[in-house]
Amino acid sequence: MDAQYQTLQTIYNIVKNDAQPTTYLCSTRDIILRQVTGWSSIEKHLELLELEKLIVIKRLDRVVVCITSAGITAIQLLSQHQPSNRS
């Protein structure tokens, strides 16, 4: 899975249990705490994901990220097509 989609997976994992996942305001701090890459890489991933319309970046009093319906669909499809690690 490409690195930006790993970031999308992280965002999805944060919001997936919310009743309205597309309106959940995911903080950049939440994303950073769950990723092994640094902020500069995450920031590039977010920009790419926004260009693909898989997320929306909102600049409020702090930067927050919302996953879109297309983002949810994309990560679910990508997850289905990942090879399993079963031996």
Please check the confidence at residue 83 and state whether its pLDDT lies above 80.
Answer: no
pLDDT of residue 46: 97
pLDDT of residue 81: 77
Q: H/E/C letters for each residue in the chain?
A: CCHHHHHHHHHHHHHCCCCCHHHCCEEHHHHHHHCCCCHHHHHHHHHHHHHCCCEEEEECCCEEEEECHHHHHHHHHHHHCCCCCCC
Q: How confident is the model at residue 87 (pLDDT cuts 50, 70, 90)?
A: very low
What digits encode the pLDDT tens for the residues 5-64? 999 999 999 999 999 999 999 999 999 999 989 999 999 999 999 999 999 999 999 999
Terminal-to-terminal C-alpha distance of the chain? 20
- Give the domain ranges of the chain: 3-80
Share of residues in the chain with pLDDT > 70 (%): 93
For domain 3-80, give the CATH number. 1.10.10.10
Please check the confidence at residue 66 and state whether its pLDDT lies above 60.
Answer: yes
